[in-house]
Amino acid sequence: MFEISDETLRLIKKTCKGKKDIKLTVGYLADNNTVIKIYNEDGELDSSKKFHYEIGSITKTFTVSLLSKYVFENKLSINDSIQKYIEELKEDEYYPTLLRLATHSSGYSERLPLNKREYFNLILGMVSGGDDFNRNNPLNMDFNKMKMLIEKNKLKEMDYSCEYSNFGMSLIGYGLGIVSGRGYWDTMNDFLHNELGLNDTYLGTSNNNLRGYSRKNNDCGNWKWNKENLISPAGAISSTAADLLKYAKINIYEDKPYLSLCHKKHGNGTKKYDMGLGWYLLKKNNNVMLHGGGTGCFSSFLGIDKEKKVASVVLANYQLGRNDDENIGISLLESLQKSKNI
């Protein structure tokens, strides 16, 4: 039977050190079995408890999963321009396709929908562990702001270098809501519950039983999301480790055939990763799919190896140090992969 390695346990202990209110959930899928463990500063806790976490940008993989469903059902084309779904945009202008938005190659700046000053303050807050931005969701956008930003940020018809874009993902979500006729929020919650069967996964934090904490151990509460915030498709979902591992299993076995579209390479991505739709694919092995996330004081990571049929998840109610959650998740995933080679 698989056991978490000493190296992964060392990373877990290092991450929990000095964080008096941390609930660090680490889980894995192997041989169709799910194992979930919860840790705090003193060690392992009762794993029967169920905690909900803000999963931040892992939300993007769900948004693009719904996109792939609509492509499969011929409700839209991956090569459609966003102009087809967003009213009142000027004609005779170029607007990026859903494909370019889903692979972060649209050309939209990483800082959008924030202006330069707001983005600088956000980064400063993340680096310093400050509490202001942690308590208050800085990412807000209504329709008028979305339309203004699209028209202000003119792009060329080309594949830009990969630049991570919350704004681009929000445009996909808005388009999906137009296609469904119900808006993104209601459409996504229906997709999560009735299509994927993830009963503990939802948009927003109203049912969240965990509060987030800064690196200074200050209580930062939860980010507030609502239907009117059109940036929601980029980061508004809350979930549990069990649901995320169930989601990983759905992707591994492609229980929903349309998900295969998300798993294929669609762009060159970064030095280390190719781009699927929404997912980062390891360049040296595209069967390995990864995504991380974070809101003000929550951190998350989900890693999947489709070939080995294993997955790892890491969730924390803390603003962790740079890559702490990813380091744990990848260490665990690598151990799982090695166990399959024996």
Per-residue pLDDT band for 103 (boundaries 50, 70, 90) equals very high
Coil vs helix vs strand at 212 = strand
Q: What is the mean pLDDT of residues 61-81?
A: 98
How many other C-beta atoms are found inside a 10 Å radius of the C-beta of residue 161? 11
CATH superfamily, region 6-252+289-341:
DD-peptidase/beta-lactamase superfamily (3.40.710.10)
Query: Is the peptide bond between 233 and the residue preceding it cis, with omega within 30 degrees of 0?
Result: no
**Residue 71 and residue 261 in contact, taking contact as beta carbons nearer than 8 Å:** yes
Gap between the Cα atoms of 186 and 227, Å rounded: 8
Q: What's the CA gap between 104 and 116, in Å, rounded? A: 20
Q: Specify the pLDDT at position 16.
A: 97
Residue 323 CB contacts under 8 Å (≥ 6 apart), including other chains: none
Q: How far is CA 126 from the centre of its chain?
A: 18
Question: For residue range 148-203, what is the model confidence (pLDDT) as tens digits?
Answer: 999 999 999 998 999 999 999 999 999 999 999 999 999 999 999 999 999 999 99
Q: Which tokens sit at 158?
A: 């080309």
Residue 188 one-letter amino acid? M
- The chain-wide mean pLDDT, for the chain, equals 93
Instruction: Please state the pTM of the whole predicted model.
Output: 0.96
pLDDT band, very low/low/confident/very high, at 121 (cuts 50, 70, 90): confident
Neighbours of 255 (CB within 10 A): 11
Percent of the chain with pLDDT over 70: 95
Confidence bin at 131 (pLDDT 50/70/90): low
Rounded-to-integer distance, Cα 126 and Cα 319, Å = 8
Is residue 35 classed as helix, strand or coil in its secondary structure? Answer: strand
Domain boundaries, the chain: 6-252+289-341
Tell me 213's DSSP state. Answer: E
* Higher pLDDT among residues 129 and 239, named by residue: 239
